[in-house]
Structure 1
């Protein structure tokens, strides 16, 4: 057994070599997923949380270099090791200069292979299995977009690096912050959160840094403040973009000096905390508008993690809804209710401008107003009535035919994820008959079995 196990994606179009390498890697305690092409590797990564990719350099279709380029663009934190024949070593050396972690010459030496895997896992921060256990306690997702974000989060989870979490209201920024805290060496110390936009400046300063007795009216006793109460742990500054400018100056001093001065105190006191902040605002624009300090921004945003809205991860709507149903049943000590199929389809088709928080509220309302065991489509329609759907679309410049094919393929995959790979249900969501839907799947080379939970 190696000191640390990981998930390894092995890409090679030679079945004999693929089996041999897989056996060697598995014998060292790692989990291996094997595929025979670069295109298959990209599809597999949507479902398999790989810690490292090992790929042959020369393959038909998408070769190892093309796969490396895609992974460097889409998953820059994922280590890639190339396997190369003697004649292609110069190409492999060139690939390492473009982002590959290393290359292995054929025939592949077992000890060298395992050594390179250990090196790759050392580049990926917290152990993959440990990180997944932590975020699984709080975060419900099967979205590739979220899995990529969580892989980035894993790299900084066990460090003291300051993290800025961005995203629309209701996307779960505090949930991610708590997961980062739970994965850090500070997990045994407090996690203290405060909403910086929820109180006036003087009160916010006192809450953050504390005050001395008599420092202001009603200060009848001293208070240590959230920074000092989180000693050794994590301070989460929610809606940091709403913090008044005058207080931003004082926060910057705390981050620079690692000490706080309570209101009315004669001297500063040392503090040892990690700071994670969050905002729904565009802080770059706020800096340009002189509403946020640029120097504070760079202190807070050493690493930035952008949480996607629920409309960008529609495959998570059904599992989130089921999660909320189960949580409500446990809380109320009652049997778990379920959604009728057409009711679930309504939930999955909604745009959710209020994101996960809005979905949670709708589910709770449905449970409260449903007498029986099954929640109907009419109940969902009533809960959603009056909510304006907003759908933001990003645009990329590419040929029309290519853009249309890419959209259709992504759309079909999203439908299959929402429907757990059920073709009939996917076809109903698309308002197409099943035969036509199967033709679309075949045309775009999509296997519905890959998207079953």
Structure 2
């Protein structure tokens, strides 16, 4: 059962204080009521509430001064101001400096409860760690029910040695979930080795995974241990497994089936004891139907499938992640920024986030580096959000986009003539076909009528007689 949110209520009007306490208590909140700003500061020194609601006009230290003290000492603690008509301009000005909201007297009960609910959601803590011990998933910041379901499943499967396939869009945190699985497993004390299959050139990938012996190929001047043997007793995480070449998929399947690795150039197989986790943003079932991914390997890897939701489907995590990133980055860049203005936070929460958590981190880093005040204003967040999505692409996905565009241009130039396109790309035809298959390109889509073909290509070539 969730504990009631604690609210510190500050007003020198005893009748109003009593009435608001009754209404907030009836709504399920725990209320501490005090009559002065000085008493409120004394209370804050002992126990931090989830929300402060204060009248602007108070004897002694007024509500705006109290807000300034709260903002200085506890920048993430939301404050709602209660104001009479004459002090509205002061309250509005305070919201530009970080006050969550203001309400005018006499206040509307529904408006009060709505503002309280908004403030509490923005400042809500994350959920209790799954299984009572959060160390295994400490890198995953979330209060989302969707993520809680994924983490609960991850904790269950972590205790086994089953292979896990993690699916999700780019930037959703697939490697973080893989690390969490490893941390919660009996293999936690052994190595965790992450390999991005798409980032390593195809010619080197086999050597990187399995190792090689001296003289195995030109430049192999000594023995080298592969990344899979290096994870002995622990976990290997194969990211972007959907980009692994078919020839190498066969060899990986042997590792999974026989638990042995044969280094490149060696006649001896080495026994390995590793758990294999994999991830992809591709549709592997579609890749199987297109012949780009082996079904037997797919079923070996996909014993359990965990799917990470995009950030747009876990919006309750955005404020939590943004504040966490901001404080971490502020320390790294030696900045004194402490939080976001309420309207700036609203802009982050409602943004589309095509690049998911990776894009959010990028935006927060930009506003942190450029920050000149303790609170990040709305205008700065809006400028950062205007960055084109390409700015937050990972290197590998930018490379893939370029590769597909490059193939498109060649096929358009040659009217779908594969042999000619391969010649222009300085690649053999077999490799060029493989690249087209990887990107789902059909040369027939680029075939042109002979009359509209580019000059320099004969009718026989355009008709495909050369074997394209």
> Which residue of 2 is the match for residue 392 of structure 1?
none
Measured in 2, the distance between the counterparts of 1:239 and 1:176 equals: 14
Query: Structure 1, residues 209-244: CA drift from partner, whole Å, max 9, x if none?
Result: 000011111111110100111000000000000000
Query: Structure 1, residues 6-55: CA drift from partner, whole Å, max 9, x if none?
Result: x99xxxxxxxxxxxxxxxxxxxxxxxxxxxxxxxxxxxxxxxxxxxxxxx
Q: Normalising to structure 2: TM-score of the pair?
A: 0.55
Measured in 2, the distance between the counterparts of 1:238 and 1:388 equals: 22
Measured in 2, the distance between the counterparts of 1:128 and 1:374 equals: 36
Shift of 1:333: 4.3
> Which residue of 2 is the match for residue 180 of structure 1?
181
Measured in 2, the distance between the counterparts of 1:281 and 1:368 equals: 34
Measured in 1, the distance between the counterparts of 2:344 and 2:388 equals: 17
Shift of 1:369: 1.1
Query: Which of the residues 133, 136, 151 maps onto 1:134?
Result: 136
Shift of 1:370: 1.5
> Which residue of 2 is the match for residue 429 of structure 1?
none
> Which residue of 1 is the match for residue 222 of structure 2?
221
Measured in 2, the distance between the counterparts of 1:190 and 1:333 equals: 33
Alignment check: 8 A CA contact 2:246 2:293 kept:
yes
Residue 344 of structure 2 is aligned to residue 340 of structure 1? no
Shift of 1:378: 1.0
- Structural mapping, 1:265-414, within 5 Å: 265-387=266-388
Q: CA RMSD in A?
A: 1.8
Measured in 2, the distance between the counterparts of 1:183 and 1:334 equals: 35
Q: Normalising to structure 1: TM-score of the pair?
A: 0.57
Residue 188 of structure 2 is aligned to residue 202 of structure 1? no
Measured in 1, the distance between the counterparts of 2:140 and 2:188 equals: 17
Question: Which stretches of structure 1, 4 residues or more, deviate above 4 A after TM superposition?
Answer: none
Alignment check: 8 A CA contact 2:355 2:389 kept:
no
Gaps of 5+ in 1: 1-6, 9-125, 390-453
Gaps of 5+ in 2: 3-128, 391-468
Shift of 1:387: 3.6
Count of residue correspondences: 264
Alignment check: 8 A CA contact 1:337 1:367 kept:
no
Measured in 2, the distance between the counterparts of 1:230 and 1:359 equals: 32
- Structural mapping, 1:410-449, within 5 Å: none
**What is the DSSP-based 3-state SS (H/G/I as helix, E as strand, rest coil) of the residue aligned with 2:224?**
coil
Which stretch shifts more, 324-333 or 205-214?
324-333
Shift of 1:200: 2.0
- Structural mapping, 1:138-149, within 5 Å: 138-149=139-150
Alignment check: 8 A CA contact 1:258 1:271 kept:
yes
**What is the DSSP-based 3-state SS (H/G/I as helix, E as strand, rest coil) of the residue aligned with 1:217?**
coil
Alignment check: 8 A CA contact 2:213 2:220 kept:
yes
Measured in 1, the distance between the counterparts of 2:204 and 2:306 equals: 29
Shift of 1:141: 0.6
Alignment check: 8 A CA contact 1:201 1:247 kept:
no
> Which residue of 2 is the match for residue 191 of structure 1?
192
> Which residue of 2 is the match for residue 157 of structure 1?
158
Alignment check: 8 A CA contact 2:165 2:278 kept:
yes
Measured in 1, the distance between the counterparts of 2:341 and 2:131 equals: 36
- Structural mapping, 1:62-73, within 5 Å: none
Measured in 1, the distance between the counterparts of 2:375 and 2:157 equals: 43
